[in-house]
Chains A and B, each alone.
Chain A
Amino acid sequence: MKFFKKGQIEKIVERLAEKADVFVPMLRGQQSGFFSWKSYDENYDDIIFDLLNVYSPPKNIILPQTEKMYSFDQQGQETIIKPEEIPVEPKVIFGIRSCDVKAIEYMDEVFLTRTFVDEYYKARRDQVAIVANACYNPGTNCFCKSMGVDHLNPEAADVILREVENGYVWESKTDKGDILTKQVEDLLEDQEVELYQPNRFVRKVNYDGVAEKLKDLFDHPMWERYSDPCQTCGICTYMCPTCYCFDVQVKNWGDEGYRFRCWDSCMYREYTLMAGGHNPREAAKERFRNRFLHKLQFFNERYGTPLCTGCGRCIVTCPAGVDIIRMIELIKEAEPSV
């Protein structure tokens, strides 16, 4: 087994940072998220490998919230279009949790499979190596296991770290992982260490049959009722590691400008607003329903899994306390005939 002591972790990050932009979980003032090691300020930032997870999910590393696509310049009869160059710099997401690794797998499905490859996504994704931090101590609102995530063996990880007494086990899983291992080899020790027994999950839910059942619940009064507290603020979707919706927008001055994409959310009015002014999802009820149907039914119909990795962020972050675990339970209890 390859192993390193806790005190070595910053050295390891530093070593990896010689060849890549390494993203590390930090508390930065009021913010909690993955930040580039290059921007690490030891007087201000607090590295949090020891906490459960970061609050802002790491999806922005592969799907930036705002991403320029191309610029244009109209010169007389001619339009000059210049594609935006995506900087080719290898990246490492270091210390990402299994739920968030799974979320990247889901984004891969969306952006890279079923006949269309999103070049912008691909260019960023190809550069990313994933060093995951296996979860032996799930948090109060974690339910990844219920959503089919193996919290100890994240599939898409190139390296898996396992916290043990005094340090971490380093387990390379892929060729990309082997390259990283080479880089830090002299910082790793060969040692047999005992792995922890994972703690139990506080919260669980049974997703079996939910996607099927939802087919008959589109017009159910439950949506009106359970969307009562929802303020359609959209935090649940922006803080969700799996929500991938984006809009394409333009900025121009005179004949020049650029197109960019930016995150969007089904909780917003503009999301479904049509050119004629009609909005098929006018109110909280329809938007709230769409969020749960997409996550629990539609995505499952297309890709065979729910679009939820059980990270618990939306449960924690919803100002109105909407709880997806509770929603799944309520869906299971609902009488379809009503």
Chain B
Amino acid sequence: MNYTEQIREIASRLLESGQVDMVMAWEKGAFDYQSLPYVARSREDIDKIIFDDYSVHNLSTSLLRYRDSNEKIAIVVKGCDSRGLIRLLEDNQISRDRLYIIGICCSGVLDPLQAMINNSGFSRAKETPGPAAKCATCIQPNPVIYDELIGEPQEARNPGERFEEVNEIENMTVQERREFFEDIFSRCIRCYACRQACVACDCRTCIFEETRPQWVGRETSISDNMMYHMVRSMHMAGRCIDCGECERVCPMGIPLMLINRKLIKEVDRLYGPYEAGMVYVEGQKPPFSVYDEKDPDDFI
């Protein structure tokens, strides 16, 4: 998958006509396997723009830093990333008319981060890794919202296997589950990278940064870590768009998608059929952003 030429053409058209102030895409890094988020602001920048198999990042998250400005922004999104745009639109983080969306029908991407780790002497795996984990069960490879579309529409991949790991955990005994979660969460170094990478985490002041009162302690102890993860995952319920960025960036290899998928499954079961960020209807809100008297409350 290499759409560099098409994107450069669109970018030069948009920037030269002044239709947008910036184009969010990728540039090449120091290695073949490194593609990096890049913002082109002028004609001179256009030659740096690329889109290739390593364009894994969900750029929609970066729109948050422009939420208070007026700049018009062209952004390149894959199927999963485009669902992030819908989240931002639903939460009124950015208005539709500030965006020019260049959608890519995505045949799957590779992870530059994993390739860096493997090739830098930090792992036994020397070879370049296969497709990014999120792509294995991608339900939406084609953009759900766009102004211009590149590539041929793609089929969803292995939708039947999407909740396989979740089901395995559900089948554990309570004790086994507890041990499993204690093991994974005790590794967390509370760097908050999973939060920073997440488009659904769009609060201006995050609960984990509140100091008066401090809702979640700052110790890297099992109880504070559990609390962090419980709150993070609950806040993702009905909001996670399955882009996999949180798990990808986690330096401790914590299987965050397992937890996100469990919540995707539960929200769909309790409030669904529902899947976050699949269609944009103006004014529409995700399940946990509205209150309805018919909401299930038998757990109270």
Contacts and interface: CB of A to CB of B under 8 A. Distances in A.
Interface of A: 27, 29-32, 46, 48, 51-56, 65-66, 139-142, 203, 228-229, 231-235, 238-239, 247, 249, 251, 260, 262-263, 265, 268-270, 273, 283-284, 312, 315-317, 319-321, 323, 325-326
Given A247-B218, A323-B30, 16 more contacts: A31-B187, A32-B122, A46-B124, A54-B122, A56-B251, A65-B220, A66-B218, A229-B39, A234-B192, A249-B214, A251-B219, A269-B205, A319-B245, A319-B249, A321-B37, A323-B29
A142 B248 CA distance: 23
Contacts of B29: 321, 323
Contact of B209 (A31, A142, A269, A325): A269
B272 interface: no
Given A30-B187, A51-B124, A251 B37 contact: no
Contacts of B218: 66, 247, 249, 262
B249 A235 contact: yes
B217 interface: yes
A231 B187 contact: no
A250 B217 CA distance: 9
A232 B252 contact: no
B227 to A, nearest CB: 12
Interface string B230-252: 00000000000000010011011
B196 interface: yes
B121 A284 contact: no
Main secondary structure of the interface of B (DSSP, over half): loop
19 contacts: A31-B252, A31-B253, A32-B122, A65-B189, A65-B220, A66-B219, A139-B121, A140-B31, A142-B121, A203-B30, A229-B38, A229-B62, A231-B197, A232-B196, A233-B192, A235-B193, A249-B217, A251-B219, A316-B122
B124 A229 contact: no
A140 B119 CA distance: 7
A126 B124 CA distance: 34
B17 interface: no
A53 B122 CA distance: 6
Contact of B122 (A52, A263, A268): A52
A21 B68 CA distance: 53
Interface of B: 29-31, 34-39, 57, 61-62, 65, 112-113, 116-117, 119-124, 187, 189-193, 196-197, 205, 209, 211, 214, 217-221, 245, 248-249, 251-254
A312 B117 CA distance: 11
A27 B191 CA distance: 20
Nearest to A228: B39
B44 to A, nearest CB: 12
A326 B30 contact: yes
A319 B29 CA distance: 12
Given A249-B218, A260-B219, A321-B29, A233 B36 contact: no
A143 to B, nearest CB: 11
A140 B120 contact: yes
A251 B252 CA distance: 26
A48 B254 CA distance: 21
A32 B192 CA distance: 19
B294 to A, nearest CB: 38
Contacts of B119: 140
Nearest to B56: A319
